[in-house]
Structure 1
Amino acid sequence: MNIIRSFVLFILAGLCEIGGGYLIWQWLKADKPAWYGLTGGIILILYGVVATWQTASFGRVYAAYGGIFIILSVLWAWKIDGFKPDKYDIIGALIALLGACIIVYAPRK
């Protein structure tokens, strides 16, 4: 159950970071209203809070989060931004996800 909880927290943190960053991007690059940027900033703060709910150490969580972030970024770009990932995007994201899982979930003594 701890692995499922941890993975859900990684996904929630990733959605907060990508969603918050996306809103700020829209505000600054696509001339959206300032409330987009403010909302994005608040969501980015939530990302920092959600990441602390992990039970592993800071370094391990943030190292592994990078792999989760890569796959979530590709999925976000595909579903929200209209980006069509090619096979190399998918292979690279899966390799990053595998590396993240090894960092966090490998049995240690």
Structure 2
Amino acid sequence: MLKSLFYFVLTGLFELGGGYLVWLWLREDKSIWLGILGGIALAIYGAIATLQPANFGRVYAAYGGVFIIMAMLWGWKIDQVTPDYYDLIGAGLALVSVVIIMYAPR
């Protein structure tokens, strides 16, 4: 379970980081090199997800919940946008969903 959570977090960092670099390039008029690095990070994100032990559909369904939580944290720490009460409720529900999808006994 810890290995799986590690892969989820690593995947999220590469997806959010890559997307953010592309965002900076296209929306903030930063260097194209940030966009290229972002594209590379997004490709790595896709590869990391394959290291999960579960099937594709289950992994990506659960990762969606992890992504919600990590995106909230990213917005809070990087963009300085504090999550409100409803953001926290939604992220909490996403976390419960991740646990059920990935770790419920089958």
Q: Deviations over 1:36-75 (max 9, x none)?
A: 0000000000000100000000000000000000000000
Determine if the alignment matches structure 1 residue 102 to structure 2 residue 100. Answer: yes
- Structure-1 residue corresponding to 2:5: 7
Structure 1 consecutive aligned stretches of length 4 or more whose deviation exceeds 3 Å: none
Amino acid across the alignment from 2:12: G
Unaligned 5+ runs, structure 1: none
Q: TM-score, normalised by structure 1?
A: 0.96
Deviation at 1:91, TM superposition (A): 1.1
- Structure-2 residue corresponding to 1:40: 38
Cα distance in 1 between the residues matched to 2:105 and 2:5 = 16
Cα distance in 2 between the residues matched to 1:28 and 1:101 = 35
Q: Calculate the aligned-residue CA RMSD, in Å.
A: 0.5
Cα distance in 1 between the residues matched to 2:80 and 2:30 = 18
- The number of equivalent residue pairs is 106
Which residues in structure 2 correspond to 1:27-106 (within 5 Å)? Answer: 27-106=25-104
What percentage of aligned pairs have identical amino acids?
A: 58
Cα distance in 1 between the residues matched to 2:53 and 2:97 = 18
Unaligned 5+ runs, structure 2: none
Q: What secondary structure sits across from 2:51 in the alignment?
A: coil
Amino acid across the alignment from 2:42: L
Cα distance in 2 between the residues matched to 1:65 and 1:101 = 10
